[in-house]
Amino acid sequence: MKRSILNLVVTALVLCMASVMSSAKVGDSAPDFTATASNGKTVHLADYRGKYVVLEWHNNGCPYVGKHYKSGNMQRLQKQWTSQGVVWLTILSSAPGKQGFVDANEENDYLAKMQAAPTAALLDPTGQIGHLYDAKTSPQMIVINPQGVVIYDGAIDDKPTTDLDDVPGATNYVSRALEEAMAGKPVETAATRPYGCSVKYGD
């Protein structure tokens, strides 16, 4: 009996440590990564030090993602912020065979069809970047400041639904975080529940 309780405690501790180590919280340094983009280029996050970076978790089969692409909201945000020097990285963490997994050509076709305008779309079929940031959903959004610190982590906006009608009246947390940070103010809403579909990681 004693032995089994001890085993349970040890297992719990190990699991605890593993989950603490894997997440990047608001206020922490954004963990660096290297990834291959759908355009064939290699992207190092550290190369963007000095700029604001937005990470957008994506899965083209998810209705919550569909809400923001079919309404044109995501493309509008991408264009608005990249035109102001923000780096926008769309990240695809679906494992092969799971919903939202695409190869480079399929992703390039999607970007063209949707008139999406991220700086790059990063292919993350192993889920490495997703796990590094403990991404739970699509579309989870993370904002990193020019010093490389995570200043926002969570939902795209305050309407956790799949309804296209909810886009116009929503408060967009990503834009608000960027506006506040660029004005030298602290980000008022720095962490929210990232609504959407679960990220389809491999087993």
Partner 1 sequence: MPITHGTLELIAEDQWIAPGHSLYLGLHFQLERNWHIYWVNPGDSGEPPRVEWQLPPGVTAGPIEWPTPHRLETPGIVDFGYENSVTLIVPMHANASLSPQQAVQFGASLKVLVCSREMCIPGKTQLSLTLPVKIQSPLPEPRTAELFAATRKSLPLPIPKSWRINVADANDSFVLTADAGHPIMQAVFFAVTESQIANAAPQKLVPAASGFRLTLRKSDQLLKPIQRLKGVLVLSGDRAYVIDVPISKARGGSDAP
CA 86 from chain centre, in angstroms, equals 15
Q: How far is the CB of 87 from partner 1 (least distance, A)?
A: 23
Contact between 195 and partner 1 by CB under 8 A: the answer reads yes
Distance CA 67, CA 11 (A): 40
Q: Residues 137, 143, 173, 181: which binds partner 1 (CB under 8 A)?
A: 137
Count of residues that bind partner 1 according to CB under 8 A: 42
Contact between 136 and partner 1 by CB under 8 A: the answer reads yes
Amino acid identity, position 37: A
Residue among 157, 58, 53 nearest 106 (CA): 58
Q: Which is nearer to partner 1, 118 or 130 (CB)?
A: 130
Query: Cβ of 24: how many Cβ atoms within 10 Å?
Result: 18
Give residues 36-65 in contact with partner 1 (rule: CB under 8 A).
61-64
Window contacting partner 1 (CB under 8 A); options: 75-83, 107-115, 134-142, 174-182: 134-142
**CB of 149 closer than 8 Å to CB of 30:** yes
Q: How far is the CB of 153 from partner 1 (least distance, A)?
A: 7
Sequence-distant (6+) residues with CB within 8 A of 162 are: 63, 64, 66, 67
Q: Residues 2, 3, 5, 186: which binds partner 1 (CB under 8 A)?
A: 5
Query: Cβ of 21: how many Cβ atoms within 10 Å?
Result: 7
**CB of 143 closer than 8 Å to CB of 181:** yes
Q: What is the DSSP letter of 87?
A: E
Q: Residues 104, 114, 170, 191: which binds partner 1 (CB under 8 A)?
A: 191
Residues lying near partner 1 in the complex (CB under 8 A) are found at 5, 8-9, 12-13, 15-16, 19, 23, 25-26, 61-64, 98-99, 127, 130-131, 134, 136-137, 153-154, 160-163, 190-193, 195-203
